Structure 1
Amino acid sequence: MVYPSEQMFYNAMQRKGWEPNENDMHAASSNAPAAYGQVVAIHNAVNEQTWKEVMKWEKLHCDECQQPKLLKFQGKPDQLSPKARIQSLLGYKPPFDRHDWIVDRCGKQVRYVIDFYSGKPIADKPVSYHLDVRPALDRWRS
């Protein structure tokens, strides 16, 4: 995957209304605290895990396409997916973010919905999260 630069990531956070600390975007260096640079590294690790989850679904279609590719994605942090909305009504904590990813399945565009949930704290881990990755219910075959 190709990732945004630290500056692009910082600019995107500002566009979304966050107030990031620019120093937190830089890779850790000898004169920076260890926590610096973790924001971008964690983001990239989450994206890698998300892609692995998408590929689990795509393997069900390997007869159609051997090498699906990510075309684009869109963050929708203020829009609950239908599943997340129902779970929230049942008393579950809503996701902290949502993305829609569009995958090119050898000429066919397939949309995936990803809900990002905070996980339980784990010792010696900077963050804990849970991903709910699934094809969007745009068509019957999904």
Structure 2
Amino acid sequence: MGWLWNDYNKTNSNECTTSKSTYMKDNLKHILQMSASGKSVDGCPVLNPKKEEINPTNNMPDLRNAKQSWQKMDLPTEREISTIPKKDGSLWEYPSPQQMYNAMVRKGKIDTITGKEIPEEDVESMVNVHNFLNELCWQEVLNWERFSQKKEDPNVKLVKFTGRPNDLTPRARFYHELSKLFPEKISGNLPFDRHDWFVQRSNGQMVRYIIDFYEQADDEETGEPVFSCDIRPGLDNVSNCLERFNKYWFDNQK
């Protein structure tokens, strides 16, 4: 049904290990939540004293690339190019580590006087993991598209996306309630973030994909944190409902 366990450090595993430190895991969650949302993690509106123009494709203001006055090290300002195509045919760009650091300052995740809370030297690694997760999410979207369209569509594009960390999906709520009846079989964890991706097919049809990000139990061998993603088309029409049912049936026949 579109579940994806992501592996950052291993090539033949189904898990995503990001760092041995707990604060890295927590702050990576903040980065995922901020990367596609115009709201802070606690749901309060973004403080925007300069009335910055918000980009409608990702609900984010333009990210500054200037170094903060208290920074002791220079963070990279180069932006990584994704493999994800935009509506105009170009590729989406990920924020640079410096831009993401500045975004965390704006969201109140970093003390603007001391610069403490998120070590500067960890930002680049967190951004790398963030980018890696998004790339794997896009590959899973393409897997859905190949299954539903019965062919490869080279013109599938990500038109826009938005973060909805405070909007619990019916599916996540259902599994959470079901875990109370079957705690040994079903995890009761709620997703720590949610993204909605709006994907356009070559025929012009728009499909909304829902991505729930979950924090799993730490790896038993290494103690490193693990994340998983649940990716599927939104139940916006009969076609999407049939696609999800058919995919579920197909996956369970393997």
TM-score, normalised relative to structure 1 = 0.78
- TM-fit CA distance, 1:103: 0.7
CA distance 1:51–1:17, shift in 2 (3 Å): farther
Question: Which of residues 221, 237, 240 is equivalent to 1:139?
Answer: 237
- Structure 2 unaligned blocks of 5 or more: 1-81, 83-92, 111-116, 181-187, 241-254
1:93-112 maps to which residues of 2 (within 5 A)? 93-106=189-202, 107-112=204-209
Q: Check if 1:41 corresponds to 2:128.
A: yes
Give the superposed CA RMSD: 2.4
- Aligned sequence identity (%): 42
1:21-60 maps to which residues of 2 (within 5 A)? 21=118, 23-24=120-121, 35-60=122-147
SS in 1 for 2:238: coil
| Number of equivalences | 132
1: distance between equivalents of 2:199 and 2:163?
Answer: 15
Conserved 8 A contact 1:120-1:128: yes
2: distance between equivalents of 1:22 and 1:70?
Answer: 32
The answer for the alignment partner of 1:30 in structure 2 is none
Conserved 8 A contact 1:103-1:109: yes
1: distance between equivalents of 2:172 and 2:159?
Answer: 24
Question: Which of residues 163, 173, 186 is equivalent to 1:75?
Answer: 163
Conserved 8 A contact 1:116-1:130: yes
- TM-fit CA distance, 1:137: 0.5
- Structure 1 unaligned blocks of 5 or more: 25-34
2: distance between equivalents of 1:79 and 1:18?
Answer: 21
The answer for the alignment partner of 1:88 in structure 2 is 176
Higher relative contact order (CA 8 A, sep 6+): 2
CA distance 1:38–1:78, shift in 2 (3 Å): same
1: distance between equivalents of 2:125 and 2:153?
Answer: 35
Conserved 8 A contact 1:10-1:22: no
1:117-136 maps to which residues of 2 (within 5 A)? 117-122=214-219, 123-124=221-222, 126-136=224-234
- TM-fit CA distance, 1:10: 3.2
- TM-fit CA distance, 1:121: 1.6
1: distance between equivalents of 2:123 and 2:118?
Answer: 10
